[in-house]
Amino acid sequence: MVKEIQKFWQARNWMKSNESFLTTWHAHVGYKLDLFDSFAGGAKVQEVAARDELNGQLLLRWVEVGLEVGHLKKTVTGKVKSKKKMVKFVSAKSKDSVGILLREMMELHIPTLMQYPDLMKNNEQLSYLEDKFANVVAETSALLEKASVPPMIKWVNKYKPGNIVDFGCGYGGYLKKIRDADDQVTLTGIEISKEVADEAAEKLKSRRIEVRNEDMQEFLNSGEQVDMVMLHNLLYYYPPEDRPALFKDVASILSDKGTVTVISPLTDSGHGQTFAAAFNTFMTAHKNLYPLPTEKEIEEAAKEAGLKVKMSKPIIKEGGWFLVGLEKK
């Protein structure tokens, strides 16, 4: 009898732990279909289903979950209305939206983790489809910029570089913020995705920021000299054994006292290790992605390249994200 009770309580605990997943799932569906906007002013389920050409029964089920998890509420007239926080932070149309993080989690990370049993059993790895998710990754990186821009600007103000290159610049958010702080510095972005590079170039051309659609190795081999290099969210595209060579290549294009900034989640950092462990799980499932670096690894690779760590600052502790600043000796 005692064992049956223990079994029951364990099952109950697992059911309770799944409630947070339902909250994430509900927000993701709402973000993907603009449903929080559809119910922003209050509406009947059948009206939204007819207007947006959605399956009415499935929409009703989504609404029922939303009422339970607190994303939606019923009005006195019986209509369904989105909570203000959901319209502000999850609507794709809101400037404050963080919904793209839900999309990355639900469409990229979780599907990969769900394949783990087969991957382990068959001793296989997936191929990360960089082109397919380039826009998603660029948009999530743009959210990270909000936390990392202030210390980045302090770094630029301290070293006053005459020219800066951002490898894997995405939509060029860092370059744009640096331009806002310094009207004279020469700024160049390197982006391997043509779709992302074209959009960034269009957005930044009026700011006198050049965006090139090329592999960063092309720039590293070009012989161009710069005062500052940004390596943000790039190290996990390189096997650990190749990272010292990457730092050496970067150091070779730096002017005297040139600097490098690195942004990455770090393992063994003391912050956000649950996220870092999950991120490493995702990386290891792919044959063309690699484990996160440790702070010690960056320091040692930098030292081999003639670079010295001058700053190591957590920018999102919950995710283990760090901004590391290096200076050429």
What number is the average pLDDT over the span 136-141?
76
What number is the average pLDDT over the span 35-39?
98
Show the CA angle centred on residue 170, arms to residues 199 and 215, nearest 5°: 100
For residue 162, what pLDDT band results from cuts at 50, 70 and 90?
A: very high
Please name the fold of domain 130-328. Rossmann fold (3.40.50)
**The residue to which tokens 């939204």 are assigned:** 48
Please name the fold of domain 2-100. Arc Repressor Mutant, subunit A (1.10.10)
What number is the average pLDDT over the span 148-169?
95
Concatenating the DSSP letter of every residue in 231-242 gives EES-GGGS-GGG
pLDDT of residue 2: 64
The tokens describing 253, both together, are 């294009």
Q: Which helix (H) or strand (E) holds 6?
A: helix 2-17
99: closest CA among 45, 49, 40, 28?
A: 28
For residue 1, what pLDDT band results from cuts at 50, 70 and 90?
A: low
For residue 13, what pLDDT band results from cuts at 50, 70 and 90?
A: confident
**How does pLDDT run across 86-116, given as a tens digit for each residue?**
999 999 999 889 898 899 889 889 999 999 9
Asked if the model's pLDDT at residue 216 lies above 70, the reply is: yes
Asked if the model's pLDDT at residue 325 lies above 90, the reply is: yes
Comparison of pLDDT for 27 and 272, the residue scoring more = 27
The domain locations on the chain are 2-100, 130-328
- For the chain, what is the total number of helices (H) and then of strands (E)? 16, 9
